[in-house]
Structure 1
Amino acid sequence: MEISKSHFKIIEHLLPVQKGNVKIPDIQIINAILYVAEHGCKWRGLPERFGKWYSIYMRANRWAKKGVLDHVFVILQGADVVNIQVDTISLDSTAVKVHPDGAGAFKKNGPQSIGKSRAGWTTKIHMVAADDKTAVITFALSPGQSRDAPEGRSLLETLENCGWEGAKVLMDKAYEGDETRQLVLDLGMIPVFPPKVNRINPWKYDRKIYKKRNEVERLFRRLKGFRRIFSRFNKLDAVFRFFINFSLIADRMISVDRP
């Protein structure tokens, strides 16, 4: 998988201008990062056709620390959300196993959303996506043992005054609590999720609309096609977010050709 020149033009103007004697163009850097993200190899394992691995690593590291791809993600996905009619929003999370290379040295050099759950050392990716299959609105990281509902409410709170009153918010039973349901109502949206079996007064929900929640599940499936997302090799959240943002951007650009 490689980003074509036509795809690269979508983000070229959003990347920082390189100073000095730059031998490796940005499109080559992008495709080198894509190779690492897709195959999960170490930077030293990059094929020679991409250029010196250390030069690629250093530029990618600078971009990660400066939040370059965070900015690109916000611009691209913000444009997507503006250009679509938001009728439904999906909130969900997925767990990512932490590779031994990503464990240890906690609390050093920056936040590390890594925690021990029943599956071992894991990180959770919490995501809000619009009903267009490529429009990720926002995402966050948390340690693997954290509960979904509080993290989900934090993401939903960022949607205040977004002008999406009346949109349906699709969630699974992990977000079933009264607090989450009330927050959605306070935002002017409609919660759509099944009540737990032990609810004294269970509510009815639109089962047909609820089936659309599989779109965010398919999005997670595509993201985990990138080995750097399927397993977390990075200690710092900033670097792991870099690969998540990059994978989302690559998925966004490649989706232009997806039927």
Structure 2
Amino acid sequence: MELKKEQYEQIAECFPKQRKPAKISNLDVLNAALYVMENGCKWRSLPKEYGDWHVIYVRINRWAKKGVLEKAFLRLQQLGIIKIQVNVVSLDSTCIKVHPDGMGALKKNGAQAVGRTRGGWNTKLHMVAASDRDGVIFSLSAGNRGDGPEGRTLLQQLGPADHPVYLLMDRAYEGDETRALAVELGYIPVVPPKSNRKDPWDYDKELYKQRNQVERLFRRIKRFRRIFTRYDKLDVIFLAFVFFALIVDVLM
């Protein structure tokens, strides 16, 4: 799996310009990162044909911390390649196992989105998706954090809807506070009530079937082993890989 030149050109302006002929082009660096993301290997295990692994690692690390891959993701949204102007979106989360290599970030980097659950150390990826190919916005939290509070934070980051949009959510988000926030922001919540609700409400069961689109999107990006398992100590690096996975999925 490799990005072609014509695919890269759609996001090329988001990457720093190389001032002189470099031994490793930006496209070559992205394809090396794609190999690492797809196979889940260590950087030093990169095949030699990709070039010096340390040069590639340093450049990806720099891009991650400067938000370059996030900029490329937003560029694809602006171009309409990632379609976000829709009438229905889905909100959900997925758990990602943290590899021992992803533990032990230095304290100077602050708390990272890693938490202990009954299944071990996990990171949660929360996402609003417009389809099974189009992510709108996402965030990370520790694996032991509740979906409701993190979902509300994500909706606040997403901001008000500029037209009526149905928001499909599972029962983890059926709390009064989450539904009230959705309505306040201009969304129409479609969420089934829990069985112990004293005053349950009706919801559109046919429309609710589309909620599996966000689950299918999780499945698509989790085919990359670097997303299926978290190997990165820092959130900013892991987030960059999630951005990159969404970019690759829509371009290819």
Instruction: Please state which band the TM-score falls in when normalised by the shorter chain.
Output: over 0.9
Give how far 1:90 is off: 0.4
Distance 2:111 2:77 in 1: 25
Match of 2:71 in 1: 71
Residue pair 2:84, 2:136 contacting (<8 A) in 1 also: no
**Deviation (angstroms), 1:21:** 5.1
Distance in 2 (CA, whole Å) between partners of 1:81 and 1:161 is: 22
Which residue of the partner structure matches residue 135 of structure 2?
136
**For residue 213 of structure 1, what is the aligned residue in structure 2?**
211
- Letter paired with 2:203: Y
Aligned partner of 1:157: which letter?
Answer: Q
1:157 corresponds to: 156
| Matched position secondary structure for 2:94 | strand
Alpha-carbon distance between aligned partners in 1 of 2:95 and 2:203, rounded to the nearest angstrom: 27
Correspondence for 2:198 = 200
Letter in 1 for 2:165: A
Q: Deviation at 1:118? A: 1.3
The one-letter code matched in structure 2 to 1:73 is F
Aligned to 1:190: 188
Q: Deviation digits for residues 88-119 of structure 1, max 9, x if unmatched?
A: 01000000000001112453324411010111
CA contact (8 A) 2:105 2:112 kept: no
Query: Partner of 1:249 in structure 2?
Result: 247
Which residue matches 1:257?
A: none
Provide the residue aligned with 2:117 in structure 1. Answer: 117
Q: Which amino acid aligns with 1:71?
A: K
C-alpha separation between the residues in 2 aligned to 1:197 and 1:111?
A: 36
Q: CA deviation at 1:49?
A: 1.3
> Where does structure 1 lack aligned partners over 5 or more consecutive residues?
255-259
Change (3 A) 1:168 1:81: farther
Give the structure 2 partner of residue 174 of structure 1: 172
Tell whether the 8 Å contact from 2:115 to 2:144 is kept in structure 1 after alignment.
yes
How many matched pairs? Answer: 252
Structure 1 pair 159–60 and aligned structure 2 pair: CA distance change class (3 A): closer
Deviation at 1:34, TM superposition (A): 0.3
Q: Deviations over 1:137-181 (max 9, x none)?
A: 1100000000001110111113333403x2110000100100011
Specify whether residues 84 and 36 from structure 1 end up closer, same or farther in structure 2 by C-alpha distance, changes over 3 A only.
Answer: closer
SS in 1 for 2:108: coil
Q: Counterpart of 2:49 in structure 1: which amino acid? A: R
Distance 2:246 2:177 in 1: 30
**Residue 135 of structure 1: how far off its partner (Å):** 2.2
Deviations 1:45-101 (A, max 9, x none): 111111111111111111112111111112212443896641101000000000001
Please give the root-mean-square deviation of Cα atoms over the aligned residues, in Å.
1.7
How much has 1:20 moved relative to structure 2?
4.6
Aligned to 1:89: 89
Specify which of 230, 235, 239 is matched with residue 237 of structure 1. Answer: 235
Q: Gaps (5+ residues) in structure 2?
A: none
Distance in 2 between residues matched to 1:206 and 1:83, nearest whole Å:
24
The answer for the alignment partner of 2:147 in structure 1 is 148
Structure-2 separation of matches of 1:35 and 1:10:
20
Distance in 1 between the 2:106 and 2:174 partners? 32
Report sequence identity in percent: 54
Task: Return the TM-score normalized by structure 2.
Answer: 0.95
Report the secondary structure of 2:158's partner residue: coil
